[in-house]
Amino acid sequence: MTQADVDAVLAATDLFDHDVRPEWAARFLEEPAHHLCIAYDDGSPAGMITGVEVTHPDKGTEMFLYELGVAEDHRGAGVGTALVLALADLARQRGCYGMWVITDADNEAALRTYQAGGATDRDDSVMLTWRLDPSHPTFDDDRDR
């Protein structure tokens, strides 16, 4: 991880849900099981994907597709699908037995992208969350969690 890597993530901040913070970007990039890929179009960030390898003693290692973001003017052009496929390829290379993602059931664009990238299973799983720090910027919206 170099400062240039952190700078590249900072330059792509519009692709993320919230503003990228340099110290958090550096910490993410320093972890060998954390992965971040940025797609470019004419030198400008067009999309990004993050993944985290998760290893369990009785299951082995799988890739958690943490977040996918595509610039509004690049949506529908295959950028998201290409990023999902790239992360899946990386997961295979790293010995992951599978890859998974959580998204809202009514997020049709995300569902189409993940299915175009090879996802096949949909189930009735429920995600529960803990607000350990309610002042954290990811909790600044009005959604119930």
CA separation for the pair 103, 84 (Å, rounded): 14
pLDDT digits (tens, 9 = 90+) for 23-76: 999 999 999 999 999 999 999 999 999 999 999 999 999 999 999 999 999 999
In sequence order, the 6+-apart residues with CB closer than 8 A to the CB of 94 are: 53, 61, 63
- Rg from Cα positions in the chain: 16
pLDDT digits (tens, 9 = 90+) for 123-134: 777 888 788 998
pLDDT for 140 equals 65
Domains of the chain (ranges, CATH numbers): 3-139 (3.40.630.30)
Buried b / exposed e across 55-77, counting CB within 10 Å, b at 16+? eeeeeeebbbbbebbbbeebeee
Convert the pLDDT of each residue in 65-94 to its tens digit.
Answer: 999 999 999 999 999 999 999 999 999 999
Around Cβ 39, how many Cβ atoms within 10 Å?
21
What is the reported pLDDT for 138?
A: 77
Residue 143: band (very low, low, confident or very high) from pLDDT cuts 50, 70, 90:
very low
Backbone dihedral angles phi then psi of residue 3, each to the nearest 5 degrees: -65, -35
